[in-house]
Structure 1
Amino acid sequence: MKSLSITGIILLALSVLLFYLTSPNFTVNDLKMSHIMGILGGIGIGLIIGGILGYLSKGSAIKAEQKKKEFKQLQKDKEELEKQAAELAKREAEFHSQNQNPQI
């Protein structure tokens, strides 16, 4: 989101620069309805683009978080299975040692 804000500021500065280059003698008294419509249109387009990009970046962040949770769960499952396998191997070794050395 920080990079989107920086991009928005750069585009805003560029639009101000282009506006002042195209009309160097502009004053507040020269502000017409077409200027206001252009400003509102630019704000609207910026909000639409920002909303779409925000939605996409939030969706990818949620997917990344979900993958991270799944990975942690798989690691826990793997550790649990390894513990069970070690315990089963220990029991099997004890069983074989008892069968090889029968007590009378």
Structure 2
Amino acid sequence: MKNLAITGLILLSLSVLLFYLTANNFTLNDLGMPHIMGILGGIGIGLIIGGMVGYVSKGSAIKAEQKRKEFQKLQQEKEELEKRAADIARREAELDAANQNPQL
């Protein structure tokens, strides 16, 4: 993403440089430098904005993935704790039953 932004900045600066080097009377009938400068400037700005948006969306996706993994881990830990609690409750019930009915 950083490479896109750097490339966009280079193209944008190139279009500004070309504009100042050829700053004479531009007409719409001429297909030449102004069109090339506009295209380069548009590409540069598009790459800068695209790089920023891509960087932000990638960061958001990574954070969402981390939250999802953490949630799954917590669910697994909860299931393990519930199993342990059920096992402990079963053992206590067996001990209570054994203490109430001693077989001599």
Same fold per superposition (TM over 0.5): yes
Structure 2 stretches of 5 or more lacking a match?
1-27
Query: Which amino acid in 1 is paired with 2:35?
Result: H
Q: Which residue of 1 aligns with 2:44?
A: 44
Query: What are structure 1's unaligned runs of at least 5 residues?
Result: 1-22
Equivalence for 2:74: 74
- Mapping 1:1-104, distance limit 5 Å: 23=28, 26=29, 30-104=30-104
Compute the displacement of 1:35 (Å).
2.0
1:34 is displaced (CA, Å) by 2.3
CA distance in 2, matches of 1:31, 1:55: 36
> Identity rate of aligned residues, in percent?
73
Q: For the residues of structure 1 that align with 2:78 and 2:64, how far apart are their CA atoms?
A: 21
SS at match of 1:102: coil
Dislocated runs of 4+, deviation >4 Å: none
Secondary structure in 2 aligned to 1:51? helix
Number of corresponding residues: 77
TM-score by length of 1: 0.69
2:8 alignment partner in structure 1: none
Instruction: Choose between structure 1 and 2 for higher RCO, CA contacts under 8 A separated by at least 6 residues.
Output: 1
- Give me the whole-angstrom Cα distance separating, in 1, the residues matched to 2:103 and 2:44: 88
The Cα shift of 1:63 comes to 0.8
SS at match of 2:102: coil
RMSD: 1.1
Shift of 1:102: 1.2
